[in-house]
Structure 1
Amino acid sequence: MTSQTAPGATLAVQGVQLRHSRDVTLTYPDFTLPAGAQLAITGPSGTGKTTLLHVLAGLLRPQKGEVLYAGRAIGRMSEAERARFRRREVGYVFQDFHLMPGLTALENVELGLRVAGVGRARERARATLGRLDLADRCKHRPAQLSTGERQRVAVARAVAHRPGITPGRRAHSAPGPGARARDHGPPARRCGRAGRHPAGGDPRPPGGASAARPPGTLTDGSAVRLALWTALRGLRSRWVALLITVLAVALASATALVVPLVTRQVERGAQDAAQVFDLLVVAPGSATQALMSTLFYLDVPTGNLPHRVYQELRDAPGTRRAVPLALGDNYAGFPVVGTSRSFFDQRLKPSAPPYFRLAQGRLFAREHDAVIGARVAQASGLQLGNTFRGSHGLEERQGGEAESASPDHHGEPYRVTGILAPTGGPVDRAVLTPIETVWEVHGPASEAKREVTAVLYSAENLAGIYTVAQRINADKDAMAVFPGQVFAQARETLLQGQAAYAALSILVLGIAALTVWLSVYTSGLERMRTVSLLRALGAGRGTVFALVLLETLLTVSLGVGLGLGLALLVGSVGGGLLGARLGFTLAAPQLTWSLAARALALIPLGLLAALLPATLASRTSPLRHLNG
């Protein structure tokens, strides 16, 4: 049925029917309510008074008939138009008030103004509460207010934006028979005298729906601000659930970030330690084992080279440097490395200064002189002029105390002549002595029998390096190793392990995403009354959808940020421990663009987990979780 309102009427009800149940259809009498008028609806419980209020407020559509406001049929409006109508023209006072428990009285009133798109919302909310004698209760939450005070806050929220229609139900605790649906008495009228519309009325001219309307409109920008404002306060009121979710996301993020971070540290540290020479010549065997034993002192050497191999490399045309190494002894667990003085002349490039420099003393000059690394000096307390004895083998057996007389120790002691400055490399934990000392302590031998463990070789040009490598690999007694190739192979092996770890990381991230989803879904169930309230106040579906996504975005961003910090902390602590084990210093992890991009890539996973709860929330009926 379609008709027009009577001249000058603001609200008209014509032939409205609504099915209440399978057997009951509610039929309402026709009436018109002029601007500024008030109407009391009385009757026994269960006769449809609240249902009629919902129809008048645009919360329900009638099956038959029309409700017209300013000449427009409310029931024929789209969902978005009815939300806009409630936002601009309706100020509903619910029977149970439905104040948000996590907001203060001031914020509850401010919420209604923000939904209505009214500017200076906080100032207007404070003024409205002041007119209702609640100026000193603005910072109190609903649980801290009496029933009468909560009622006045609900009235303030309903009338603060000056609506055209103010439907409302008497509170349960209000005196009087039945459940009269009308304005909430003096508080609402007090707001009317203060310049607000009287409850149930509209002081605007009958012919102009917007003639005296305040300019507030919920634009896309203000809708996002409303969602953000509500999300921040929602998270504040659910801080325990927020903390649990943030920690879960942080642990998952740290798990996904820390291994690539530490792996990169190890690669960089190992490459820095190996860049002072071009080629490693060792006895045939595993190239990785040879590199780990002669460069990092972490494994057993593949064997010894005949002395002639070292001599050939030393005397080969185009040789820049051939440094012999002889391993087999230790002091207090630190390897004793026999070498030549050319060891200390190694450089990152020909024009660079020597890579190794002395912090104290001088280089060795004769047998049993020793130059110790910075970590050896720090751990053992050895100083210039101190003496000590080494032990057979690559690991400590008897503790390696100075001047020990254990049968496993050599008879003639070493004397400290120099202490190297820290390099951050394996040499920091090495004891360097003339190679003749190592030959001598293992018994007299002819020149031909004086074997070496390895030779660090550098040539004048790249062609010379490959020429020497080909010649060495043709010798059955020796093998040439390019450190870069070994690192590349090790990286491939490491990447296989990382692939397995990546699968584990994906599983952990999946669990974290599930945690986020459960948290968002659970908080969504707790939030449904809030969502229904926002929808009843006039918030659109997009605003509610944005609210859930923004809450999730804030939660996941906090978790990922905390996880990134945790990964850097674990990388720093774990890198130090791992560096001590590997024998070289790992650079402190740094926040790089690559690491930040990897962390930011985790945030969309959390947003994906929130899509379903956000969609469900946006489709929530305004009345589904409101019962008054």
Structure 2
Amino acid sequence: MSLFRLTIRNVMHRRFLSLLTVCAVAVTVAFIVLLTLSRESVEQGAKKGYGPFDLVIGAAGSETQLVLNTFYHIGAPTGNIPLSILEQVQQDDEVDQAFAMTTGDNYNGFPIVGIDPGYFVTRYGGRNLQEGSLYEHTGETIIGSYVAKSLGLQVGDTFSGAHGLVQEADHGSLETGHAEEEEHEGGEEHAHESFHYTVAGILPPLQTSDDRAVFTTVDYAWAVHGLSQEKREITAVLVKPVSLLGAHDLKELFDGSNGVQAAYTSQAVSEVLNAVDQGSRLLGILTALCVFLAAITILLSLVAAVGERTKDVGLLRLLGKSRAYVWMSLTSEGLLVTMVGLVLGLLLGHAGAYLLQDTLFAQAGIQINPYHWTAEHWLIAAGTLSVGLLASLGPAFRMYRLHPLALFKS
């Protein structure tokens, strides 16, 4: 009987234990693959999330909060700053491009962002829209590809926004005793419902957080609330400096003056990535535990096989099979089970990434690619097979050392 046929027969003879071992390996590999894809997506999304804008100016507060809200559309803005700040920034010789941004409203949970159309040319170059054209007048919008896909919007559709960054499930759920607040919020709601947006264009898939936002003119918030010239404010100013030295000079000039802060975009993103790395270390410990349990499962499976197969191995030795044949029969069984678990784990990991991609992108702006194969996949495969081989060596070596007569008599 060939070694391969013997291995298959032995695995099928102990179907339940073999299946349990395969499942343990598959779940461990799938978890590692999903973790790897997620971590890589976070790093890539963070690096290209702010484009050429190395500096952002906004209201005093958390720099991380300012950057996350401005470029990743996560969380609330730190506040508003005077419109005059934009004019000061644009007049500075150290500035290549500067764009004002206004936020604070949403449509079905997707943020409505007011920004000059030049932002898209500066950040994404000459990429064409998927449909339609850029907005020119107040009330016209272009929407991200994910927004269009999720809500089924098309060029020419109209809609009304809502106040706040999250769609309220129940606008009327107000406690008694707050009549003035209720009247104010009722006025806000009426103002937003009476202001209509028109979809002028749809952005192509950009693989950034801009895919899940609605963009319009900077003055949309002023038009909705009917603000006069002296009351007009903006949320942030996105700055593309001429040089890194210019960015430093701008930060020194604007940071800490009149409730305004200037933040290095890359520095704030690095802090977020450091926090992610801390969480990855904890998950790494959990992963190591899963690998250890999978190795124990393989070991126990082969130990049980040795106990059941002692007489069979003794008979094979008496028939003239070499020690190497016996040793290979047990190690190949462990490697076969490990390899099947590895293949299933890779498929499950990518299938999990496919199922979670929309949820991750909607909640955190993480664009995970379920079809991406990285260099770490080869390391995962090599590591899994190595663990399977090491777990197989002990039981195989035990059978290898015993004399044929001792094996048969036992």
Same fold (TM over 0.5): yes
Contact kept in structure 1, 2:67 and 2:269, CA below 8 Å: no
State the AA in 2 paired with 1:439: W
Q: Structure 1: which 5+ residue stretches go unaligned?
A: 1-106, 108-225
Q: Which residue of 2 aligns with 1:369?
A: 140
- What secondary structure, in the 3-state scheme, does the structure 2 residue paired with 1:253 have? helix
TM-score, normalised on structure 2? 0.87
Deviation for aligned residue 1:441: 1.9
Contact kept in structure 2, 1:370 and 1:417, CA below 8 Å: yes
| Cα distance between partner residues in 2 of 1:580 and 1:435 | 24
State the AA in 1 paired with 2:282: A
Q: Structure 2: which 5+ residue stretches go unaligned?
A: 172-187
Q: Which residue of 2 aligns with 1:324?
A: 100
Q: Which residue of 2 aligns with 1:428?
A: 211
- RMSD over aligned CA atoms reads 2.6
Q: Which residue of 1 aligns with 2:246?
A: 464
1:209-233 residue CA offsets vs partner (Å, 9 max, x unmatched): xxxxxxxxxxxxxxxxx65564344
State the AA in 2 paired with 1:485: Q
* Range that drifts further, 526-535 or 537-546: 537-546
Distance 1:387 1:561, change over 3 A: closer
State the AA in 1 paired with 2:362: A
| % identical aligned pairs | 32
Q: Which residue of 1 aligns with 2:202?
A: 419
| Cα distance between partner residues in 2 of 1:379 and 1:227 | 54
Deviation for aligned residue 1:589: 4.0
Match runs of 1:101-120 below 5 Å: 107=1
Distance 1:512 1:381, change over 3 A: closer
Deviation for aligned residue 1:302: 1.2
Q: Which residue of 1 aligns with 2:323?
A: 541
Correspondence 1:388 to 2:159: yes
Q: Which residue of 2 aligns with 1:285?
A: 61
1:386-431 residue CA offsets vs partner (Å, 9 max, x unmatched): 332222111212699xxxx963634332233333233232223322
State the AA in 2 paired with 1:431: V
**Aligned residue-pair number:** 394
- Name the structure, 1 or 2, with higher relative contact order (CA <8 Å, separation 6+): 2
Q: Which residue of 2 aligns with 1:354?
A: 126
Task: Name whichever structure is richer in helix by fraction.
Answer: 2
Deviation for aligned residue 1:536: 1.6
1:522-560 residue CA offsets vs partner (Å, 9 max, x unmatched): 111111111111222233434322322222122222222
Deviation for aligned residue 1:377: 3.1
Contact kept in structure 2, 1:424 and 1:584, CA below 8 Å: no
Deviation for aligned residue 1:339: 1.8
Contact kept in structure 1, 2:53 and 2:241, CA below 8 Å: no
Match runs of 1:53-452 below 5 Å: 107=1, 227=3, 230-348=6-124, 353-354=125-126, 357-397=128-168, 407=190, 409-447=192-230, 449-452=231-234
- What secondary structure, in the 3-state scheme, does the structure 2 residue paired with 1:347 have? helix
Contact kept in structure 2, 1:338 and 1:434, CA below 8 Å: yes
State the AA in 1 paired with 2:168: R
Correspondence 1:581 to 2:357: no
Distance 1:261 1:332, change over 3 A: closer
- What secondary structure, in the 3-state scheme, does the structure 2 residue paired with 1:463 have? helix
Q: Which residue of 1 aligns with 2:176?
A: none
Distance 1:312 1:416, change over 3 A: same
- What secondary structure, in the 3-state scheme, does the structure 2 residue paired with 1:487 have? helix
- What secondary structure, in the 3-state scheme, does the structure 1 residue paired with 2:404 have? coil
Contact kept in structure 2, 1:424 and 1:586, CA below 8 Å: no
TM-score, normalised on structure 1? 0.58
State the AA in 2 paired with 1:552: G
Q: Which residue of 2 aligns with 1:606?
A: 388
1:4-56 residue CA offsets vs partner (Å, 9 max, x unmatched): xxxxxxxxxxxxxxxxxxxxxxxxxxxxxxxxxxxxxxxxxxxxxxxxxxxxx
| Cα distance between partner residues in 2 of 1:358 and 1:238 | 59
Distance 1:570 1:428, change over 3 A: same
Q: Which residue of 1 aligns with 2:177?
A: none
| Cα distance between partner residues in 2 of 1:415 and 1:576 | 26
Q: Which residue of 2 aligns with 1:129?
A: none
Which of 507, 514, 519 is matched with 2:289 structurally? 507
Deviation for aligned residue 1:617: 1.3
Distance 1:398 1:553, change over 3 A: closer
Deviation for aligned residue 1:513: 0.9
State the AA in 1 paired with 2:126: P
Q: Which residue of 1 aligns with 2:308?
A: 526
| Cα distance between partner residues in 2 of 1:540 and 1:584 | 55
| Cα distance between partner residues in 2 of 1:419 and 1:460 | 31
Contact kept in structure 2, 1:306 and 1:477, CA below 8 Å: no
